[in-house]
Amino acid sequence: MNTEELRKHITEQAAQARHASYTLRNVTTVQKNNALAAIASELRSHAADILVENKKDIDILDTSVSTAFRNRLILTSEKIEAIAKGIDAVALLDDPIGEIVHGFERPNGLRIQKVRIPIGVIACIFESRPNVVVDIAALALKSGNACVLRGGKEAIYTNTYLADLITSAILSVGLPEGSVQFIRQTDREVVGIMSRLAEYIDLIIPRGGEGLIDAVMKDAKMPVLQHRKGITHMFIDETAKFDDALQIVLNGKTSNPSACNSLEHVLIHKNIADSIVPSLIEQLSDAGVEIRGCEQTRTYSDSVQIATEEDFAGEYLDMIITLKIVSSFDDAISEILAHSTGLSDGIITQSVEHANKFVKLIDSAATYVNASTRFTDGSEFGFGTEVGISTSKIHGMGPMGVADLTVTKYVVYGDGHIRT
């Protein structure tokens, strides 16, 4: 398929999604939940077939890809069940469409309501994570939106099969076929073509590496919801509880090091360093974590490698972490502001003053006090799943669930009112 044929084909799919979105605006909550139940049922009943398709992708995967990349691609029976449970959770959520956010009456008798409505058509271009096909389809349907999805070539067999299951499910309950459009072509030109279809697509979400995000941002004619690297920090304040600090750091680094919300950098106040750094080094090392640190950190153990400036500004997505001892609360804030990507950062402290000041000064999408950064996730926030984690300074920040896939409009009721 040449570029012109490709453009025509993708445009037709986007147009079908736009047409379906008009119907989806008016479907009932019961219809939406029936569609979600049907999708979850299809996943469960075809789990073995999904694993067969996933193995095809794994078998042809380039051996040079990172462990983190491979882990995101691999599905298991447990992962499929978790995806299905996420859909179940979305079905249980309140339907945001039609919610009156604010209502008031003017002195002249006009009644004005600010009401939630669907965005319209949401596009997502993503890499490696096949669960994204299901997650975004479920959230889009629940919020009354159509969607256009394009995955990477590394998961083409899995994504295609999942998309076919979703289409079968929504057709079985009477929703329009165009509600969920999956683009099977993996040519590089697809990204540019989708990014310019503002006539049909209202919001585009790139989920992947910085190269993908840059490509979408370069060509996009519609709003873009995106986040880049997850360079996360945890500051252990001088008043931190010892045991809390150890378990929060260990959980943040080791529970899933390939996730964007995994902990990459730990800052320790100098006044607590002697009591906590040796234990941190011991427990992280015992868990198989490679530790890189500042010169002062290295005085506690020969096993700590010297950290470079690139280390303190980097994202590992692996069992690697940096430790840095700072002189004050303000130094910790400066370090985070200099290197954070605004996804997740936190503080461990018993000082209410420091906790409040930290929350005000650090404007990350999820800002933590005495909790692991690993909670930055739609399911952990009670959303069932998420379309992504936004660090954009428009619309909303953090995990984006059903309510975040809506906008508001004003509905004005009069009784023959005219403006004089």
pLDDT given at position 105: 97
Q: State whether CATH 3.40.605.10 applies to domain 3-225+387-413.
A: yes
Cα–Cα dist 369/379, whole Å = 19
Quick one: pLDDT at residue 219? 92
**Rounded distance between C-alpha atoms, residue 182 and residue 149, angstroms:** 5
- Which token pair is 294? 């500042």
As a whole number of angstroms, the distance between CA 182 and CA 55 comes to 20
Q: How far apart are CA 381 and CA 223, in angstroms?
A: 25
What is the predicted pLDDT for the residue at 166? 98
SS3 396: coil
pLDDT of residue 227: 77
Predicted confidence (pLDDT) per residue in 262-298, tens digit: 999 999 999 999 999 999 999 999 999 999 999 999 9
CA 316 to chain centre: 18
- Please tell me what DSSP assigns to residue 307: P
Q: What is the pLDDT of residue 207?
A: 87
Please check whether the domain covering 233-375 is classified as CATH 1.10.10.10: no
Predicted pLDDT at 258: 85
111-118 sheet: strands from edge to edge: 100-105, 111-118, 406-413
Domain with CATH 3.40.605.10 in the chain: 3-225+387-413
Residues of the chain with pLDDT under 70: none
In which residue ranges of the chain is CATH 3.40.309.10 found? 233-375
